[in-house]
Amino acid sequence: MIHEAEGGARHRLSHTVPRLNVPDYIFSYGGIDVSVRQFLLLIVGILISINCWVVLRVVGNEYSLGRWMFAGIPVLVTAAWGWIQIHGQPLERWLAVMIRYYSRPRVYVWRQLQQDAEQPNKSGKVKARKISLQEGAAGSNEETDETAA
């Protein structure tokens, strides 16, 4: 919207829209708020549990404790996945950080630059390094003392 001031100058009005990091809740029951993300995770857990219940039909009858336990594990895992947060972050972010941490190398090899190697030491002598083309991790480095000019 453009607003005209007294002298005929035109100014554009600007409004700041607040951004809230509050999830949208589908429903609330007795102090437990269920967001869209938590609801979908719970539905996925229930569907996986129903599948496990049908597959585990060969293990025992419907009153078998083992069948109830194995069929209930997916619901418990997805419910925990939806409601547990560590330091205000959901578990999928922690999983992504953990995967990124374990996929990156943790051994760093420091190699001195050639310029740093040619600086004189306390006695005023420069240690020159002769590097062969076939030098590997266990290659031979010959060091000679030369006087600094």
125 located within any domain:
no
135 located within any domain:
no
Picking from 145, 122, 149, 144, the residue whose alpha carbon sits closest to that of residue 131 is 144
Stated as kind and residue range, the H or E segment containing 143 is: strand 142-147
Report pLDDT digits (tens) over 41-96.
999 999 999 998 888 887 777 778 888 888 899 999 999 998 898 998 989 999 99
Domains held by the chain: number: 1
122 located within any domain:
no
Give the pLDDT band (50/70/90) at residue 118.
low
81 located within any domain:
yes
Alpha-carbon gap, residue 84 to 82, rounded angstroms: 6
Which of 21-30, 38-47, 110-119 tops mean pLDDT? 38-47
130 located within any domain:
no
- Domain of 91 in residue numbering reads as 25-103
